[in-house]
Structure 1
Amino acid sequence: MTQMNYTDKKKPTRVAIISNGKYQSKRIAGKLFAIFKDADNFYLTKRDPDVVISIGGDGMLLSAFHMYEKALDHVRFVGIHTGHLGFYTDYRDFEVDKLIENLRQDKGESISYPIVKVKITLADGRVIKGRALNESTIKRIEKTMVADVVINKVKFERFRGDGLSVSTPTGSTAYNKSLGGAILHPTIEALQLTEISSLNNRVYRTIGSSLIIPRKDAIEVVPKRLGVYTISIDNKTMQYRNVKKIEYSIDSKKIHFVATPSHTSFWERVMDAFIGECDS
Structure 2
Amino acid sequence: MTTYIVRRLFATLPVMAVVALFVFFLLRFAPGDPAAIIAGEDATAEAIAAVRAKLGLDRPMVEQFVVWTMQLVRGDMGVSIFSNLPVTRLISQRLEPTVALTLSTLFVAVAMAIPIGVLAAWKARKLVDRLVMGFAVLGFAMPVFVLAYILIYFFAVQWQLLPVQGYQPIKEGLWPFVQSLILPSLALGITYMALIARTTRASMLEVLAQDYMRTANSKGLATNRVLLLHALKNAAVPIVTVIGIGIALLISGVVITETVFNIPGLGRLTVDAVLKRDYPVVQGLILVFAGAKVLVNLIIDISYAFLDPRIRY
* Structure with the higher strand share, 1 or 2: 1
Query: How high is the TM-score relative to the length of structure 1?
Result: 0.27
Query: How high is the TM-score relative to the length of structure 2?
Result: 0.25
Greater Cα radius of gyration, structure 1 or 2: 2
